[in-house]
Amino acid sequence: MSAIIELRSITKSFGPVDVLKGVDFTAHEGRVTALVGDNGAGKSTLIKGLAGVQPYDGGEVLFEGNPVTLHHPRDAARLGIEVVYQDLALCDNLDIVQNMFLGREELAGGTFDEGRMEAEAARALQTLSVKTVKSLRQKVASLSGGQRQTVAIARSVVKKAKVVILDEPTAALGVAQTAQVLDLVRRLADSGVAVIIISHNLQDVFAVADDISVLYLGTMTARLEASQTSRDDVVGYITGTKRMTGVDA
């Protein structure tokens, strides 16, 4: 299966500290790839490079098989790469539709086309089979944590993202809300989007991921199919007590 995103020998340093040391990474359409590792492993740096926030120092980035440069968030957005950060970047004083189109409002005759935006927002939520939102005109301040995460993910559907990166999407959520968000992540991948999820919660990872990539001190120590590995094995790769031969060696 060809990868929609392929990173080859990626490096990134901050002064004398080498944060990424020749990392290879892939993500595929219609699959959820979990990126896991301990604090300081390099997960955030790898993702910020993909988002164009902190360009890589070296290596090659391929998108749909073609070499690309990601020097600015606009570069990532043009390709269809969207990131849902842990803080979600939602405005509490705006409603769901306004948040989903913030910064890219649809215009008609020089004014906001509210009807079109509302219809597209409703279509995005319908695509993801979202049933927990009562009204598209609810203020985000009135939403639960799980509903906020839903709005942030649906925003990427409105933007017609090909790759969605989720940074700790279930952090601080209760059991029921976590289940709702993980179900939403699965439906997003089933719609053909490549989903990359960063998580410290291995229970969530095994509940939703197809593939697991493990970073350890700036190197990709394992790339695994979730169905062919175990929690104990992944913990071993995260802590450095296990290592796959031929992976970023």
Cβ-based neighbours of 184, under 8 Å, separated by 6 or more: 128, 130, 149, 150, 153
Residue 145 has pLDDT above 60, yes or no: yes
Please tell me whether the overall predicted TM-score, pTM, comes out greater than 0.85 for this model: yes
Six token digits for residue 221: 């120590």
**What distance in Å separates the CA atoms of residue 227 and residue 80, rounded to the nearest whole number?**
28
Dump the DSSP string for 176-218: HHHHHHHHHHHHHHHTT-EEEEE-S-HHHHHHH-SEEEEEETT
Tens digit of pLDDT for each residue in 94-127?
Answer: 999 999 998 888 888 888 999 999 999 998 888 8
Structural domain count, the chain: 1
Q: Could you tell me if residue 244 is inside a domain?
A: no
Q: Could you tell me if residue 199 is inside a domain?
A: yes
Q: Could you tell me if residue 246 is inside a domain?
A: no
Full residue range of the structural domain in which residue 169 is found? 5-239
First CA to last CA across the chain, in angstroms?
23
Q: Could you tell me if residue 179 is inside a domain?
A: yes
Q: Could you tell me if residue 217 is inside a domain?
A: yes
Q: Could you tell me if residue 248 is inside a domain?
A: no
For the segment 120-137, the average pLDDT, to the nearest whole number, is 88
Give the CATH number for residue 39: 3.40.50.300
What pLDDT, on a 0 to 100 scale, did the predictor assign at position 246?
59
Scan for tokens 């993702």, then name that residue: 47
Q: Could you tell me if residue 38 is inside a domain?
A: yes
For the segment 143-170, the average pLDDT, to the nearest whole number, is 90
Please state the separation of Cα 2 from the chain's center in Å.
19
